[in-house]
Every structure is written in structure tokens, then in C-alpha cells.
Amino acid sequence: LVTGASGYIALHCVIQLRGTVRNLRNSAKVSPLCDMKYRAERLELVEVDLECAEHWHSAVGGWTYILHIASPWPIVADETTIAIATNGTLNVLRAATECRTVRKIVLTSSCAAVNGSHTVKIYVIAGKNKLYLR
């Protein structure tokens, strides 16, 4: 499962997978996915709202791996955008923990994560960091 399949990075990751999009009727975003070679044989698109926890249970069902790329992307991110991205990621992770088939989740990001006028924060992780979402 690739979340945010119509985004720039995710579009390049989708080959033989299920991809989530915000709106199946947004042809500007969905057309590049539909135009992919072998799309009908290899790609299933599912409409999912990043903020709706219930949507994610059916989206992750049956999948072994999740590549989570979906995130809102305004020109300048404000605290609301950050909250939507954070809560959306938690929705995906929670749904995955309740799905017996999911074995691995890859969280990705891009330069969009550092845009805006937020103060610089430095995070240091020493040793192994085990995170359990339960």
C-alpha cells in the first residue's frame, strides 16, 4: 500500500500496488496514475481521507507492506497542517497495528517537511530506538 499515491514522490513508487488518493475525481492528480503502463493490471486506487481513522482500516487490510508518503503540502505549513500530517500518520500506524497482515511500514518525507518559518530543532537519537504504537 502506498499512501498519497498521486503525490510527486509516491507516483514514482507505485508500480504493482494499492495507492490511496484524497479524491478519485481529481483528474489532475489521478490522471498520471491512470496513464501508467500496465495500470489496469497492477494498480488499485482507493479514496482515503488522511484525517479519517476509519478509512485506513479498509485501506491497509490485506497488505503486508505500507509505504506512507501522504501528507498535506501547502506552500507554507502552519500548525494546522502539521497537526493534520501528524494525526494522519498516526491513523495509518494505528490501522496497521490492528491489521494482522501488515509486517513493515516505511515512513518517508521530503523537503516539504522543512518548509515554513518554524524554529530549528535538532533531534539526536543515540543507540537503538524502539517505538511501539499500542
Domain span including residue 97: 8-114
* Residue 119 placed within a domain: no
pLDDT for position 5: 80
Q: In this structure, what CATH number is given to the domain that contains residue 92?
A: 3.40.50.720
pLDDT for position 7: 80
* Residue 62 placed within a domain: yes
* Residue 124 placed within a domain: no
pTM over 0.85, yes/no: no
pLDDT for position 111: 64
pLDDT for position 134: 41
* Residue 29 placed within a domain: yes
* Residue 34 placed within a domain: yes
DSSP the chain: -BTTTTSHHHHTT-SSSEEEES-TT-HHHHHHHHTSTTHHHH-EEEE--TT-HHHHHHHHTT-SEEEE------SS--HHHHHHHHHHHHHHHHHHHT-TT--EEEE---GGGG-SSPPP------S-------
* Residue 123 placed within a domain: no
For residue range 63-83, list pLDDT tens digits in order.
888 988 888 877 666 788 888
pLDDT less than 70: residues of the chain? 12, 15-17, 36-42, 75-77, 110-134
